Amino acid sequence: MTPNCNKCKHLFVTFDQNASKGCRLFGIKSNKMPSIIVKDANNGVDCNGFELKDRLKDKNKNKKDLNDPKLW
């Protein structure tokens, strides 16, 4: 499954209208999502440089497990 670049910390938005998305890790700028470019370049192998954004890591860390018996 191709990673969602919108949740990756390496994604950035450029001011170039012809290449509005970029990846800091691979040095890519394109109108396509960088993970698609990487997959095409790696003969169908998904991007292995995906890292979840820090703000999303913190969000998942504070999430309560409602199945935990200590809460009930």
d(CA 3, CA 48): 9
CA 33 to mean position of chain CA atoms: 10
pLDDT, residue 30, reads 93
pLDDT, residue 55, reads 81
Q: Which of 20, 53, 50, 54 is nearest to 38 (CA)?
A: 50
Phi–psi pair at 23, nearest 5 degrees: -125, 120
pLDDT, residue 59, reads 67
- For the chain, domain boundaries: 5-63
Between strands 11-13 and 21-23, the pairing is antiparallel
List per-residue pLDDT tens for the chain, 72 residues long: 778 999 999 999 999 999 999 999 999 999 999 999 999 998 989 999 999 888 877 766 667 777 878 777
